Amino acid sequence: MNISYLGPKGSFTQIALIKYFGEGLNLISKRTIGEVFESVEKKDAKYGIVPIENSFEGSVNNTHDFLMKSDLQIYDEIQLRIHQCLIAKTSDISQIEKIYSHPQSFGQCQSWLKENMPSAELIPVFSNSEGAETILHTNEGCIGSKTLTELYDLNLVKENIEDSKENTTRFIILSDEQQDKSKNSKVSLIISPPDSDASGSLYNLLKPFATEDINLLRIESRPFRGQLWSYAFFIDCEGHIDNENIQNAMNALEEQKTNVKILGSYPSHNDL
Average pLDDT over residues 249-263: 93
Amino acid at 125: V
DSSP 8-state class, residue 258: -
Quote the pLDDT of residue 270.
56
CATH class of the 185-267 domain in this structure: alpha beta
Q: How confident is the model at residue 194 (pLDDT cuts 50, 70, 90)?
A: confident
Q: How confident is the model at residue 198 (pLDDT cuts 50, 70, 90)?
A: low
Q: Could you give the 3-state DSSP secondary structure of residue 53? A: strand
**Chain segment 136-145, per-residue pLDDT in tens:** 777 899 999 9
CB neighbours (10 Å) of residue 143?
27
Average pLDDT over residues 181-210: 85
Quote the pLDDT of residue 56.
83
Quote the pLDDT of residue 139.
84
Residue 259 has pLDDT above 50, yes or no: yes
Residue 199 has pLDDT above 80, yes or no: no
Tell me whether residue 118 is exposed, middle or buried, using C-beta atoms within 10 angstroms of its C-beta: 0 to 12, 13 to 18, 19 or more.
exposed
Residue 73 has pLDDT above 60, yes or no: yes
Q: Which CATH architecture has domain 2-81+167-175?
A: 3-Layer(aba) Sandwich (3.40)
Q: How confident is the model at residue 272 (pLDDT cuts 50, 70, 90)?
A: very low
Same fold, 85-158 and 185-267: no
Q: Alpha carbon 49 to chain centroid distance? A: 9
Residue 16 has pLDDT above 60, yes or no: yes
Residue of 183 and 264 predicted with greater confidence: 264
**Chain segment 229-252, per-residue pLDDT in tens:** 778 899 999 999 999 999 999 999
Quote the pLDDT of residue 200.
73
Domain ranges of the chain: 2-81+167-175, 85-158, 185-267
Average pLDDT over residues 40-48: 97
Average pLDDT over residues 203-222: 94
CATH topology of domain 85-158: D-Maltodextrin-Binding Protein; domain 2 (3.40.190)
**Chain segment 146-187, per-residue pLDDT in tens:** 999 999 999 999 999 999 988 999 999 999 998 888 888 999
Strands in 231-238's sheet, in edge-to-edge order, are: 216-223, 231-238, 185-192, 259-267
* Nearest CA-CA partner of 84 in 61, 63, 100: 100
**Which string of DSSP letters, residue by residue, matches 207-241?**
HHHHHTTPPEEEEEEEEPTTSTT-EEEEEEEES-T
Average pLDDT over residues 11-34: 92
DSSP 8-state class, residue 180: P
Residue of 23 and 50 predicted with greater confidence: 50
Residue 225 has pLDDT above 80, yes or no: no
Q: What angle do CA 15, 186, 237 make, to 5 degrees?
A: 120
Q: Residues 191, 98: contact at Cβ < 8 Å?
A: no
